[in-house]
Amino acid sequence: MKERDVVVIGGSAAGLTAALTARRHYPSKRVLVVRREEQVLVPCGIPYIFGTLKDPEKNVMPDAPYEANNIELLKADVTELDRDKKLLHASAESVRYDRLVMATGSLPIMPPIPGFDIDGVFAIQKDIDYLRRLFERLQAAKDVVIIGGGFIGIEFADEIKKMGNANVTIVEMMPHCLSLAYDDEFCVEMEEVLASRGIAIKTAAKVEQIQGRDHVKSVLLSDGSEIMADAVILGIGAVANVDLAKKAGLRIGLTGGIAVDQTMLTSDPSVFACGDCAEKISFFGGRPSGLKLASIAQMEARIAGANLFGITRQNYGTVGVWSTCVGDFALGTAGLTEAMARQHGYDVVVATVEGPNRHPGGMPGMAQTKMKAVFEANSGVILGGQVRGDTATGEMINAVSAGVQKRMTVEDIATFQIGTHPALTASPVVYPLVNAAEVAISKMRGRV
Amino acid sequence: MKERDVVVIGGSAAGLTAALTARRHYPSKRVLVVRREEQVLVPCGIPYIFGTLKDPEKNVMPDAPYEANNIELLKADVTELDRDKKLLHASAESVRYDRLVMATGSLPIMPPIPGFDIDGVFAIQKDIDYLRRLFERLQAAKDVVIIGGGFIGIEFADEIKKMGNANVTIVEMMPHCLSLAYDDEFCVEMEEVLASRGIAIKTAAKVEQIQGRDHVKSVLLSDGSEIMADAVILGIGAVANVDLAKKAGLRIGLTGGIAVDQTMLTSDPSVFACGDCAEKISFFGGRPSGLKLASIAQMEARIAGANLFGITRQNYGTVGVWSTCVGDFALGTAGLTEAMARQHGYDVVVATVEGPNRHPGGMPGMAQTKMKAVFEANSGVILGGQVRGDTATGEMINAVSAGVQKRMTVEDIATFQIGTHPALTASPVVYPLVNAAEVAISKMRGRV
């Protein structure tokens, strides 16, 4: 029987980061990661296997950090967790732990749609062999239907289109793609970009049935229309993988994740949880949050890993910061959209500004950046921002995220000290975030 | 005689932003900008006239914002300011003001070097006719010497090289180019990039004399070496343009700028000043600061413009956030470098991390990002950061700036909620700013 100070179950973004953080904060402790997979995929990189990387092998997370950081790696499936004995069983091994971190991730949602188990219907399993089969299937596909127009759905659509020009259709239940993360005007822009790349989009469309006998043949919508399909991809989200946690009697939260407090401790004082398997609360009011992102997972893992033998960090709730792109057209979001803020009950003032990302506008690489910022009307605190722009959008949104996390006010932002450069950013005179704050101030004073 | 509620002298980044801010915050006031220039140049865009835009006309700031925002524009030289009568004389016009904003900018430093007035020696005047002459001269130039290896110097060097492959040499007095803004290891990298583009660099080199009779012929260094030159550019900095302010008896500060308090008010309660002409203090300890940047100018202008008829904003001192680039190789800096922090007397812990800006590393556009973060050793507060990376560096440095301005600690940053994307940013597991914080924490605990 092995004995380890720290055992982490799971080796994706959360598990690896928790182990690295434990190593860093507790250099003398013996740290072991137990994971099921032979090779772990970069989770957000999965769509890019298809049209860009062209090989699942190129999307594998290197195992080098384990050896480099003196972290032991055991490739085995944990089948049982005995919390009384602080013992887990993984294949032929038994491991005793002092502190345990659950980082068991999530599983794709399988929808209650008749036909989802027909050959040719694929969920997005984080499994290299599964994705190899999907890759092969898609190489021969002529008609691909993607069910779900979230960021995974649209990224898959564009990547599959790049593979061999199949007919690609996104079917989305909501009125717009991406509507859980962006206000409509941003969603519409992305839909236009997808359409310009030859991708068909059916929004406000419900799938009635996936049809076919030996192989998938078509997708039937509730309006009676039928879309031909020799491959169907389900991209409708993920649920926390809590099988082991449940079996071990750990408390489960309202959204189905492992219940944790703000230190990432579960109902067992020796067991922490982080990442997609852990229950989340919102930064905005503390209600349960269904967001699952690798960046949230790593933040939680840094908290769990640091707190293992003495609490030093606290999770103030998920802000929700992420970006997506199709070609050079990128969208970024941090915090609440206008629609979400209103749903949360906030009285909001919003400001949208648009302008070139270079100065003067004739500089190479010029593209129009659009920024929408959402402020609480009375305090002026920024609740969120959305950016549409070029490939720098992914970094731009992180300055917005800083504002949200530090609860900067519209006045803080109006006098924010930005760095600008003709070849890299907008002009200081009209820098989007600062400019949006000034517009919001005018609106707050009822002057616009 | 005109009478205006607000008069702004100067129409570059500070003047225009002050006028726009006044308009926004005081919609009923009559706002007038008086400026000398027929056309105003984008100040930071000036180097890019030469190899990229290829025409000074393409680097002109549009005057459209004046009409669009109901701001009056008078193109005239202010020759006299009578503060007792709150009256100024500009060419044939006299204008009475209620509030005045001085935004008279800066003038290039003319060094005490014999020969600086020979034909063919150019300072960097923000004057379109002057730059047209320089542009013509450089088109025919075979040997160009640039005195001063700050960001203006290196940007000019690269742009002139692009024009027609002249021999371009930068002469810098300090041991490295850019050393007032970056630690040596970053400066060295930029020097290597410049060298790879065929630009000669002489550091730790003092100019003894510029030589030539009718036209410039060479530059003589104090080590006796001589560099052939048919054009010489002086890029050694700028001094506040305070001629009018001095004549009018406004108080002048320690570094030669118009003295202002933290509300941007001068020694006259009706007169504000902002931008390059105004005295600055450092965010770090409040000592006088010699920094002059368009982004600082606009921040000060937003403070001055908002405070004209009632103080609402305060200047907490210049952080110093900016970036520069040569091709796709970009450097960004916010706050103090390690060397500057030590000079200021801080006990610092620094962390440098490096990794790919995409995940997995095989994604297109992959480049290595290097980040160095400087923390105060006891409080853990971030004092500054430097980034070397691709064109997103200009936005990345603004998240660092937010950290510095909000005095985020190493723990705040270690659990910072970042947005990441395979095609746009580094992996969340090793995101540079967050990773640097973790490295710094380990160092602070004496564990590395």
pLDDT digits (tens, 9 = 90+) for A103-151: 999 999 998 899 999 999 999 999 999 999 999 999 999 999 999 999 9
Residues A406 and A355 in one domain: yes
Is the Cβ pair A419, B398 closer than 8 Å?
Answer: yes
d(CA B348, CA B342): 7
Is the Cβ pair A395, B391 closer than 8 Å?
Answer: no
A312 domain-assigned: no
Which positions ≥6 away from B364 have C-beta within 8 Å? Answer: A52, B358, B423
Containing H/E element for B17? helix B13-25
At residue B14, φ and ψ (nearest 5 deg) are -70, -50
CB count, 10 Å around CB of B106? Answer: 21
Domain that holds residue A46: 2-106+239-307
| Chain A hits for B330, Cβ within 8 Å | 421, 424
Please report the pLDDT score of residue A92 as a whole number.
86
Residues B231 and B248 in one domain: no
Evaluate whether B436 touches B371 at the Cβ level (below 8 Å). yes
| Chain B hits for A336, Cβ within 8 Å | none
- The CATH number covering residue B375 comes to 3.50.50.60
Residues B340 and B398 in one domain: yes
- Is the preceding omega at residue A360 within 30 degrees of 0, hence cis? yes
| Chain B hits for A394, Cβ within 8 Å | 392, 419-421, 423-425
A314 domain-assigned: no
Residue of chain A with shortest Cα separation from B360: A59
Of A58, A61, A402, the CB nearest to B403: A402
Residues B439 and B328 in one domain: yes
Residues B266 and B348 in one domain: no
Residues B58-111: tens digit of each pLDDT? 999 999 999 999 999 999 999 999 999 999 999 889 999 999 999 999 999 998
Q: Residues B394, B395, B396, B400: is their CA dihedral positive or negative?
A: positive
B313 domain-assigned: no
Is the Cβ pair A424, B391 closer than 8 Å?
Answer: yes
Task: Tell me what percent of the residues of chain B surpass a pLDDT of 90.
Answer: 97
d(CA B424, CA B396): 11
Pick from A283, A307, A331: which residue ends a domain?
Answer: A307
B261 domain-assigned: yes
Q: What is the mean pLDDT of residues A25-30?
A: 96
Statement: residue B284 has pLDDT above 70: yes
Q: Which two tokens stand for residue A358?
A: 């270079």
Q: What is the mean pLDDT of residues B18-26?
A: 97
Containing H/E element for A20? helix A13-25
Please report the pLDDT score of residue A447 as a whole number.
53
Statement: residue A448 has pLDDT above 80: no
Is the Cβ pair A321, B17 closer than 8 Å?
Answer: no
d(CA B120, CA B133): 10
Pick from B236, B271, B295: which residue ends a domain?
Answer: B236
Containing H/E element for A65? helix A64-68
Of B16, B429, B441, the CB nearest to A13: B429
Is the Cβ pair A394, B425 closer than 8 Å?
Answer: yes
Model pTM greater than 0.90? yes
Please report the pLDDT score of residue B448 as a whole number.
46
A281 domain-assigned: yes
Residues A81 and A139 in one domain: no
Pick from B307, B332, B353: which residue ends a domain?
Answer: B307
d(CA A47, CA A180): 19
Statement: residue B447 has pLDDT above 70: no
Residues A429 and A384 in one domain: yes
Residues A170-221: tens digit of each pLDDT? 999 999 999 999 999 999 999 999 999 999 999 999 999 999 999 999 999 9
Is the Cβ pair B325, A423 closer than 8 Å?
Answer: yes
Residue of chain A with shortest Cα separation from B302: A415
At residue A264, φ and ψ (nearest 5 deg) are 75, 20
Evaluate whether B50 touches B42 at the Cβ level (below 8 Å). no
Is the Cβ pair A48, B363 closer than 8 Å?
Answer: yes
Evaluate whether B190 touches B325 at the Cβ level (below 8 Å). no
Please state the domain count of chain B: 3
Of A17, A303, A401, the CB nearest to B419: A401
Is the Cβ pair B408, A406 closer than 8 Å?
Answer: yes
At residue B396, φ and ψ (nearest 5 deg) are -60, -40
d(CA A203, CA A149): 8
Interface test with A, best of B398, B400, B407, B438 (most A CBs within 10 A): B398
Residue of chain B with shortest Cα separation from A20: B429
Residues A39 and A93 in one domain: yes
Please report the pLDDT score of residue A165 as a whole number.
86
Q: Which two tokens stand for residue A30?
A: 């013996």
d(CA B203, CA B192): 13
d(CA A157, CA A29): 45
Number of H helices, E strands in chain B: 12, 24
Residues A117 and A62 in one domain: no
Please report the pLDDT score of residue A403 as a whole number.
97
Residues A176 and A244 in one domain: no
| Chain B hits for A294, Cβ within 8 Å | 420, 428
Q: Which two tokens stand for residue A19?
A: 């182990």
ipTM above 0.90, yes or no: yes
A316 domain-assigned: no
Residues A214 and A268 in one domain: no
| Chain B hits for A158, Cβ within 8 Å | none
Q: What is the mean pLDDT of residues B383-407?
A: 97
A313 domain-assigned: no
Evaluate whether B17 touches B298 at the Cβ level (below 8 Å). yes
Of A13, A306, A392, the CB nearest to B394: A392
> Considering chain A, what is the average pLDDT of its residues?
96
Is the Cβ pair B425, A325 closer than 8 Å?
Answer: no
Task: Tell me what percent of the residues of chain B surpass a pLDDT of 70.
Answer: 100
To which residue do tokens 């229309």 refer?
Answer: A225
d(CA B101, CA B19): 9
| Chain B hits for A397, Cβ within 8 Å | 419
pLDDT band at A157 (very low <50, low <70, confident <90, very high): very high
Residues A76 and A144 in one domain: no
Please report the pLDDT score of residue A446 as a whole number.
76
Is the Cβ pair B422, A302 closer than 8 Å?
Answer: no
Of A306, A411, A442, the CB nearest to B24: A442
A352 domain-assigned: yes
Q: Three-class SS of residue B422?
A: coil
Please report the pLDDT score of residue B92 as a whole number.
87
d(CA B305, CA B272): 9
Is the Cβ pair A406, B411 closer than 8 Å?
Answer: no
Statement: residue B189 has pLDDT above 70: yes
